[in-house]
Structure 1
Amino acid sequence: MDTSTSAYRFLELVALSGEFPADNLHRMGIGENYGEKLVTKLKEEKLLKTHYKDKLRGYRLTSRGKKMLLAQNPSRFSFYLTGSSDTNQPRSDYARRLRLHQASRTYCLLLNSGITLFRDVKPAIFSGIPPDEQAPFPTPVFYHSREIKELGTETTKINNSRCIGVLFADRCIYVIFHTGDSVLKWEYKTEIRVKAFLSYHASQGILKSWYRHDTPIHALLIGKSMDIGIRLMTSTGGLRHSLFTLDTSFEYFHFVPDSRAGEIILTVLCRPGFSKQFSALLLSDLEAPDEKLGFEHDAVKNGNPVLLAYDFDMLRISRFITSLKLHQCSGHLICFDFQKEALLFYCGDTVTISTIDLTKFERRFFP
């Protein structure tokens, strides 16, 4: 099969996912009409099949589809299409299938953001083989949680983490979570151990050739829409305190929607040099921060503290609003236009908001 076709790229993601959500073809740039024809064709060729149960519809590879991909690129697909893993032998229970769907949606978002996923084009740093310390690390690059667990017993303590995997960017590491259309389950102690695990390897373990001991480790949550971001920010953990809350397991909790807008934010987050320059540009017409205010802010406008919120760090936004209410003063937020409605709902009349036009931003910086 021609590897440049939509059909091959689709089968490729089905292989990595185990089961690809049927409603996610548009995230690959495949229109509804063409998508139906493509799926029908692949089924006729006995490369693909549909699995539907518990109102969850997805696409899985057939045995013939697996054999075709393995024959074409074993170094890319053998990890996913051999053995008894969930990607090679997907189960039928709802929770495990939903996990596969969330991983698949994450892959689409990452690929559309220019992030490396495939095993044959990234170093096998968790395989137990000492990495080539002289070779460049192709950031940004993503490793699924199962790839990380190739390290063996060292990862036992983080087995219960809800993270999909880890994104290694330039001078920063992101632990990725997919929360879908609800508030995800959360175990504070486990996520603390994930951060400690990555901190250790960045300072003296397998990542020390590419990262410093003080490399920031951020949490990044992907959700269906900006409304989910607000549900996360206002969550108190549920009756049994088993759901997500903004705690201290990470110093940063970014939220991005599963959309083109989210891809742009993720691209910016993976480029700290660009983020720094862009932030400086946004703040260039404002006054310097006022130390007398006694809380975190980026600038002052007409006597009011200003916070850059375009990276949607939920923890930082929450602290800012709490401080404004405590000091009984007003503030100002700078964000992208698609984030404004959610922020107004969360902040109320505590702040005024100015927005960055996402379309113009993309056209200027990511043509």
Structure 2
Amino acid sequence: MLPQESYRQKVLRRLLEERLLSKYQKDGVKGYRLMRKGKETLLQLEWERFSFYLADGADFSMRRAGLTQRQRQHCISEILAIMERAEILMDRSKKQPIFENIPMQSGELSQDAFFHPKEVKAQADFTRKIISSKMTGVLLSQAEVWLCYNMQVAVPKWFETVENRADILIQSILRSKQLCFNGTNALLFGRGMQQAVQCLEDAKMRVTILNAPFQRFCFIPLDENGILLLKLMYDAEAYQSLLAVLAEDLQQKKEQPFIIQDGYNQNGHPTLICVDCDLKRLIQFQTQLSYLGVQGEVICFDFQKEAIEKYCGEQTKISTVNLETVRKNFLADK
């Protein structure tokens, strides 16, 4: 995911001219394919990094002719691109063998990393159990486990049994490697914040989010704002520092512990810090406010305001934090 459109087009033209890529169209959908010359070039440049995906018949591109398979690969590619832009480790040769039948020397995660779904499903018995999962990878950090999903252009069709099974099996593999985490979370990627609104306004998707086993169900737009948000959430120290700053002016009330909140504002209204765009917590918060008939406040980033405001309505005050200011103060030296 190159930052400038003009530069992206220039690089694409060169790849086509050198016959490393080719244009492909089927079922009315246009796209690009990696040519044999392109695969050989990647293997020559970095064998250890790309051989798992391309060498000795490992490349599964021959099964990509169907529209569903092509869309699936495009979703994965978008996630890989945003992880690359967020400077998250993806090189398989530099990561611990979390999802391989290889013993680990210690029960600690030495490096935070993103794992391609092909890596996650490398074990044959594991693959058969979650072959229908929409998961587009797993992000592991020192503090949390994130199962990643890409909603494409519409509200995703969620197969609860399959995704719950994927969650359970991934936790099982992590435990077998003596890695201990307090549950798992979900990252839902979309084209923009308008897709977050689609999820929040869709009754079936709201139930899906609430019933999902994930502790957090956060929405990340596939754009520059999403890249910065992903960097911030991935940096546990910076993220916790930001939450501490945002909670400084909030007060606690022991007499109302049943409302999901991060404190109460100066007017005594329950307040939710939602800079991570945790859809699950936001739905729970707004449902409780509506049920009790009380006002509340949501603190979010400026680019999230319109979407959250549309879902919450006029009864909930929306306060914003400037993402660029946060980047300068919390991520500038990263």
Cα distance, 1:149–1:328 mapped onto 2, change above 3 Å: same
- Separation in structure 1 between the aligned mates of residue 148 and residue 253 of structure 2, nearest angstrom: 32
Deviations, residues 24-72 of structure 1 (Å, cap 9, x unaligned): xxx312432x333332322222222111233433222211111121122
| Residues 1:67 and 2:40 are matched in the alignment | yes
Q: TM-score scaled to structure 2, two decimals?
A: 0.92
One-letter identity of the residue aligned with 1:353: I
One-letter identity of the residue aligned with 2:240: K
What residue is the counterpart of 1:113 in the other structure?
A: 86
| Deviation at residue 181 of structure 1 after TM alignment | 1.7
| Residues 1:260 and 2:224 are matched in the alignment | yes
| Deviation at residue 327 of structure 1 after TM alignment | 0.8
Judge conservation of contact 1:330–1:351 (CA < 8 Å) in 2.
Answer: yes
Deviations, residues 195-226 of structure 1 (Å, cap 9, x unaligned): 212222333x02x1xx32x4231011000011
| Residues 1:216 and 2:183 are matched in the alignment | yes
| Deviation at residue 345 of structure 1 after TM alignment | 0.5
| Residues 1:269 and 2:236 are matched in the alignment | no
Judge conservation of contact 2:263–2:270 (CA < 8 Å) in 1.
Answer: yes
| Deviation at residue 136 of structure 1 after TM alignment | 5.4
| Deviation at residue 77 of structure 1 after TM alignment | 1.0
- Separation in structure 1 between the aligned mates of residue 152 and residue 235 of structure 2, nearest angstrom: 25
DSSP 3-state at the match of 2:12: helix
What residue is the counterpart of 1:31 in the other structure?
A: 5
Q: 1:335 aligns with which of 288, 300, 310?
A: 300
Cα distance, 1:168–1:92 mapped onto 2, change above 3 Å: same
What residue is the counterpart of 1:225 in the other structure?
A: 192
Cα distance, 1:276–1:38 mapped onto 2, change above 3 Å: closer
Cα distance, 1:327–1:104 mapped onto 2, change above 3 Å: same
- Separation in structure 2 between the aligned mates of residue 244 and residue 85 of structure 1, nearest angstrom: 35
- Separation in structure 1 between the aligned mates of residue 155 and residue 59 of structure 2, nearest angstrom: 24
| Deviation at residue 296 of structure 1 after TM alignment | 1.3
| Residues 1:284 and 2:284 are matched in the alignment | no
Judge conservation of contact 1:237–1:244 (CA < 8 Å) in 2.
Answer: yes
- Separation in structure 2 between the aligned mates of residue 52 and residue 261 of structure 1, nearest angstrom: 31
- Separation in structure 1 between the aligned mates of residue 124 and residue 145 of structure 2, nearest angstrom: 21
Output aligned runs, 1:10-21, within 5 Å. none
One-letter identity of the residue aligned with 1:163: M
Q: 1:234 aligns with which of 201, 205, 211?
A: 201
Aligned length: 331
One-letter identity of the residue aligned with 1:145: P
Output aligned runs, 1:32-181, within 5 Å. 32=6, 34-84=7-57, 87-89=60-62, 91-133=64-106, 137-139=110-112, 141-181=113-153
In structure 1, the gaps of 5 or more residues are 1-26
What residue is the counterpart of 2:320 in the other structure?
A: 355
What residue is the counterpart of 2:164 in the other structure?
A: 192
- Separation in structure 2 between the aligned mates of residue 134 and residue 254 of structure 1, nearest angstrom: 27
DSSP 3-state at the match of 1:180: coil
What residue is the counterpart of 1:313 in the other structure?
A: 278
DSSP 3-state at the match of 2:44: helix
- Separation in structure 2 between the aligned mates of residue 237 and residue 252 of structure 1, nearest angstrom: 18
- Separation in structure 1 between the aligned mates of residue 5 and residue 19 of structure 2, nearest angstrom: 22
- Separation in structure 2 between the aligned mates of residue 236 and residue 115 of structure 1, nearest angstrom: 34
One-letter identity of the residue aligned with 1:270: Y
One-letter identity of the residue aligned with 2:186: A
In structure 2, the gaps of 5 or more residues are none
Judge conservation of contact 1:192–1:250 (CA < 8 Å) in 2.
Answer: no
Cα distance, 1:172–1:249 mapped onto 2, change above 3 Å: same
The root-mean-square deviation of aligned C-alpha atoms, in Å, is: 2.2
Q: TM-score scaled to structure 1, two decimals?
A: 0.84
Counting aligned pairs with the same residue, the percent is: 30
- Separation in structure 2 between the aligned mates of residue 260 and residue 113 of structure 1, nearest angstrom: 10
